[in-house]
A and B are shown apart, each in its own frame.
Chain A
C-alpha cells in the first residue's frame, strides 16, 4: 500500500494509484476494511486474553488470596518486591538466560535453515530430526543432558579433560555453571522450532534476487550478506521478539532440569510468579512481578519495533 512497508524486494514497477483524490473517504474505507480483517481474531483475543491480562494487572495493586474479595493496597506489592532478594536474583537469572539463549538460538536456527533449505533426497527426514528435540519428552531431555553434564563421569567433562581443561566445570551441580548448562540445553531444544520459521521466511525471497546477484559476480558470502539477511528482516524481527519473550517467560525446561537450583542459581521470574501466586496464594504480589516482567519485555519489543521500522525506510 505505502512504500514504507516494502521490504528488501527492490522497487519494481511502482503503480501510482489515484491516491490524492478522495483521500479521507479512502482512509475511512480502509479503516473499515482493516477492522473487518482483524475483528475475527481480535474479538476472541479481547475477550479471552486481553481482559484477563488487564484484570491480572489490576491485581498488582491489590491483596488477593483468590478466596475472598481483593483489597486495594496501592504500591505495597511493588515495595515488597523491590526489597526482596529473591526477586532480584530471579531477575538477574532471567536476564542472563535471555542474553545467552536469544543470540545462540537465533544464529543456529538461521544456519540450520540455510543448510536445510535445499532439494536433497530425504531432506524432509533431516528437517524432522532437527525438530525432534522440541517434541522429545522434557523428562528425557533433562535426564540425558544431566548425564552428559555429569561432573565426574559425563562425556562433556571427559572431553574437556581430554583437550586439556584441568578443572572442568560442575555444570548442573554448581551454582556458577548451572545457568550455562540450562542455556545450552534450551538452545539445543529450541533451535529446530525457530528453524521452521526461518525456513518459511527463506521461501519468500524472490529467486530473481539471487540470480541478479550471481550475475553481478557476488560470492556466496556476499549473497548471504546482501540478499538473504536483508530479505529475512521481517522474519528475524519475529524470531527475535518471540525468542526474547519466550526467554523471559522460560519455565518448563528449568523446572524439569534443575528446578531453579542448586540453591537459587537458576530460579527465574516466571517460577517466582508461579510459586508466589498459585503456589502460596499471594496473587497480588505475583501480579506485581508479572507487571514488571511485562514492562521489561514491552520496552525491549518497542525498541526492536522502532529499529525495524527505521531500517525499512
Chain B
C-alpha cells in the first residue's frame, strides 16, 4: 500500500514538473516573427556577461525597426566546440560570431561561411584594425567589430609609495628593474609582487613575436629567448609569482590587480571595462593607470599584439542579406560607437570613436593612459593558418616545461622548433 502511494506521489510530482519545467525557466524565449519583422539569429557567447552584444543588438534594432535580433546564447568556455557541432548538423543561425581567428580559418577554409567582400569594401578599411587577419587570398569571410590589444596596467599608489615615476615608454629591462623595486610588503602586511604575468603562453611568446618580427608558426623560436630569460629571472627573484603556483591555484589576474597584490600587469584591453565595473561596484579601490606595453628598446614605435573578434555569415543562413547588412552596421562607425560607449575597444579606430570611448566614466584621464590607448602597431596574436591550432598546443606544452624549470630556455626553444617541424609543418 505504502509503496504504491509513494510511487503515485513521485509520478504525480514528475508529471507536474514536466508541465512546469518548460515554462519554468526564465531567459529569452524564442519569439516568432511578429508583425512582419525579420528575425535575425546571431550566435553569441555568454550573453548576460558580455554586454557588447546587447549594446550592438539594441542599437541595430533601434536603427532598423523591421529587424528583430535573436541571440543564440552559448557558454563562453566551449563556444567553438558547440558551434562546430551545430554547423555539422546543418544549423541555420544567420550570423556567427568568430571568437578567434583560428576557428575562423577552419570554418572559412571548409566552405562553411559566405564570402562578404562586398560588405568589407563598403567599410572604412584603412581604420579597421585587425581586418588583415580575415584576408584569405583576397577573400573575406568575416569582418571585425572589436579589436583588443595588450597594454600595461599599473597601480599608481604602489608606484607612489615606492617613490617611482610612472612607467612611461619603458623597455623590458626597465620593467624588470621596476618590478624588483616594487616587490615587498604593503602597509597592511600583505605580500606585494612587482608584476604579474598571467600563465598564458602569450605573455611571453606573443610579445616576443610581435616585437621581434617572429613567426609563431614558423618553427624557429629563438626570437623568444630574451623574453623567457627576463621572465624567469623575475620569477626567480620573487618579484613575480612563480608559474607553478599561479597555474595550479588557477590564480585570477583580476584578483592580483584589484586587491593590489601586484604593482604592474601586462594584460589585454578587455580588462579596462572589467576594472571600471569593479570599481564602480565598490569591489576594488585600486588607483590604476594605463601605460604602453614595454618595448625591446627605447625611443622606437610602440608595438603590441592583439586579436580581433568578427561577425560572419553562415552558409546555411536563412536571412543572408539581412545578415550582411547587420555586419556592415556593426563593423562600421555606428556599431563601433555603440560598443565604445560601454568600454569595449572597437576594431574601427577613428578620432570620433576614441573620443566616444574616453567619455566612459571611471577611465583614468592622465596623459599616459590616453597615449597608451593608441599603440603604433598591433600585431596579430597568432597567425591565421590551418596549422595554428596544432602549433598552439605544442607551444603551450613546451612553454609550461620552460616555466616550471624542467627545460632550460635554450633546450625548450629548440624542442618547440623540433616538434612544430616534425608534427605540424612536415
B-binding residues in A (CB < 8 A):
65-68, 84-86, 139, 142-143, 146-147, 149-151, 170, 172-175, 258, 260-264, 267, 275, 278-281
Report how far A299 CA is from B314 CA in the complex, Å: 44
> 1/0 per residue B70-109: CB within 8 Å of A?
0000000000110011011000000000000000001100
Report how far A279 CA is from B87 CA in the complex, Å: 14
A-B contact pairs, 20 of them (CB 8 A): A66-B88, A85-B419, A86-B423, A146-B249, A147-B248, A147-B249, A150-B248, A170-B404, A172-B248, A173-B247, A175-B401, A260-B397, A261-B247, A262-B406, A263-B398, A263-B401, A264-B397, A279-B80, A279-B81, A280-B389
The reply to whether B244 and A281 form a contact with Cβ atoms under 8 Å apart is no
Measured between beta carbons, the chain A residues less than 8 angstroms from B81 are 278-279
Report how far A237 CA is from B303 CA in the complex, Å: 62
The reply to whether A67 and B88 form a contact with Cβ atoms under 8 Å apart is yes
B283 contacts chain A at the CB level, 8 A cutoff: no
The reply to whether A85 and B423 form a contact with Cβ atoms under 8 Å apart is yes
B245 contacts chain A at the CB level, 8 A cutoff: yes
> 1/0 per residue B141-171: CB within 8 Å of A?
0000000000000000000000000000000
The reply to whether B110 and A67 form a contact with Cβ atoms under 8 Å apart is yes
Chain B: minimal CB distance from A209 (Å)? 29
B390 contacts chain A at the CB level, 8 A cutoff: yes
The reply to whether B110 and A65 form a contact with Cβ atoms under 8 Å apart is yes
Measured between beta carbons, the chain A residues less than 8 angstroms from B85 are 66, 278
Report how far A262 CA is from B243 CA in the complex, Å: 11
The reply to whether A150 and B401 form a contact with Cβ atoms under 8 Å apart is no
B2 contacts chain A at the CB level, 8 A cutoff: no
The reply to whether B248 and A280 form a contact with Cβ atoms under 8 Å apart is no
The reply to whether A68 and B400 form a contact with Cβ atoms under 8 Å apart is no
B48 contacts chain A at the CB level, 8 A cutoff: no
With A150-B245, A150-B248 known as contacts, the answer to whether A263 contacts B400 (CB < 8 A) is yes
The reply to whether B84 and A281 form a contact with Cβ atoms under 8 Å apart is yes
Report how far A67 CA is from B316 CA in the complex, Å: 11
Quick one: closest A residue to B401, CB to CB? Answer: A263
Chain B: minimal CB distance from A268 (Å)? 14
Quick one: closest B residue to A147, CB to CB? Answer: B249
With A66-B84, A281-B110 known as contacts, the answer to whether A174 contacts B423 (CB < 8 A) is no
The reply to whether A263 and B390 form a contact with Cβ atoms under 8 Å apart is no
Measured between beta carbons, the chain A residues less than 8 angstroms from B423 are 84-86
Measured between beta carbons, the chain A residues less than 8 angstroms from B3 are none
Cβ contact of B250, chosen from A84, A143, A264, A278, cutoff 8 A: A143
Report how far A57 CA is from B401 CA in the complex, Å: 35
The reply to whether B111 and A262 form a contact with Cβ atoms under 8 Å apart is no
Number of interface residues of B (CB under 8 A): 31
Measured between beta carbons, the chain B residues less than 8 angstroms from A151 are 244
Report how far A68 CA is from B247 CA in the complex, Å: 39
The reply to whether A173 and B404 form a contact with Cβ atoms under 8 Å apart is yes
Report how far A67 CA is from B86 CA in the complex, Å: 10
The reply to whether B400 and A281 form a contact with Cβ atoms under 8 Å apart is no
Contact residues of A: prevailing secondary structure: loop
Report how far A60 CA is from B353 CA in the complex, Å: 51
> 1/0 per residue B377-414: CB within 8 Å of A?
00000000000011001001110110010100000000
Quick one: closest B residue to A89, CB to CB? Answer: B397
Most chain B CB within 10 A, of A65, A147, A151, A260, is at: A65
Report how far A149 CA is from B247 CA in the complex, Å: 13
Measured between beta carbons, the chain B residues less than 8 angstroms from A65 are 106, 110
Chain B: minimal CB distance from A272 (Å)? 10
Measured between beta carbons, the chain B residues less than 8 angstroms from A264 are 397
Measured between beta carbons, the chain B residues less than 8 angstroms from A172 are 244, 248
B292 contacts chain A at the CB level, 8 A cutoff: no
The reply to whether A143 and B249 form a contact with Cβ atoms under 8 Å apart is yes
Report how far A234 CA is from B53 CA in the complex, Å: 56
Extra 20 A-B pairs, beta carbons < 8 Å, given A66-B84, A172-B248, A261-B397 = A65-B110, A67-B87, A67-B88, A67-B110, A68-B111, A85-B419, A85-B423, A143-B249, A146-B248, A147-B249, A150-B245, A151-B244, A172-B244, A262-B401, A263-B398, A263-B400, A264-B397, A267-B397, A278-B81, A279-B81
Chain B: minimal CB distance from A155 (Å)? 14
Report how far A175 CA is from B398 CA in the complex, Å: 12
The reply to whether B110 and A173 form a contact with Cβ atoms under 8 Å apart is no
A-B complex: 7 closest residue pairs judged by Cβ atoms: A173-B244, A146-B248, A66-B88, A67-B110, A263-B401, A262-B400, A261-B400
Q: Which of B105-121 contact A (CB under 8 A)?
A: 106-107, 110-112
B422 contacts chain A at the CB level, 8 A cutoff: yes
Measured between beta carbons, the chain A residues less than 8 angstroms from B107 are 67
Quick one: closest A residue to B107, CB to CB? Answer: A67
Measured between beta carbons, the chain A residues less than 8 angstroms from B393 are 275
The reply to whether B87 and A66 form a contact with Cβ atoms under 8 Å apart is yes
Measured between beta carbons, the chain A residues less than 8 angstroms from B247 are 173, 261
Measured between beta carbons, the chain B residues less than 8 angstroms from A260 are 397
Chain A: minimal CB distance from B328 (Å)? 25
With A67-B111, A263-B397, A280-B389 known as contacts, the answer to whether A175 contacts B87 (CB < 8 A) is no
Most chain A CB within 10 A, of B389, B398, B400, B422, is at: B400
Measured between beta carbons, the chain A residues less than 8 angstroms from B406 are 174-175, 262-263
Measured between beta carbons, the chain B residues less than 8 angstroms from A281 are 84, 106, 110
Most chain B CB within 10 A, of A84, A143, A264, is at: A264
Q: Which of B344-376 contact A (CB under 8 A)?
A: none
The reply to whether A142 and B397 form a contact with Cβ atoms under 8 Å apart is no
Report how far A267 CA is from B245 CA in the complex, Å: 20
With A143-B249, A146-B248 known as contacts, the answer to whether A174 contacts B422 (CB < 8 A) is no
> 1/0 per residue B248-288: CB within 8 Å of A?
11100000000000000000000000000000000000000
Chain A: minimal CB distance from B105 (Å)? 10
Report how far A275 CA is from B81 CA in the complex, Å: 10
Q: Which of B4-19 contact A (CB under 8 A)?
A: none
Measured between beta carbons, the chain A residues less than 8 angstroms from B88 are 66-67
Quick one: closest B residue to A257, CB to CB? Answer: B248
Cβ contact of A262, chosen from B87, B249, B250, B404, cutoff 8 A: B404
Quick one: closest A residue to B78, CB to CB? Answer: A278
Report how far A65 CA is from B85 CA in the complex, Å: 11
Measured between beta carbons, the chain B residues less than 8 angstroms from A267 are 397
Chain A: minimal CB distance from B420 (Å)? 12
Report how far A166 CA is from B393 CA in the complex, Å: 35
Cβ contact of A280, chosen from B111, B244, B390, B397, cutoff 8 A: B390
Measured between beta carbons, the chain A residues less than 8 angstroms from B248 are 142, 146-147, 149-150, 172-173, 258
Report how far A262 CA is from B423 CA in the complex, Å: 19
Quick one: closest B residue to A279, CB to CB? Answer: B389
Report how far A150 CA is from B244 CA in the complex, Å: 9
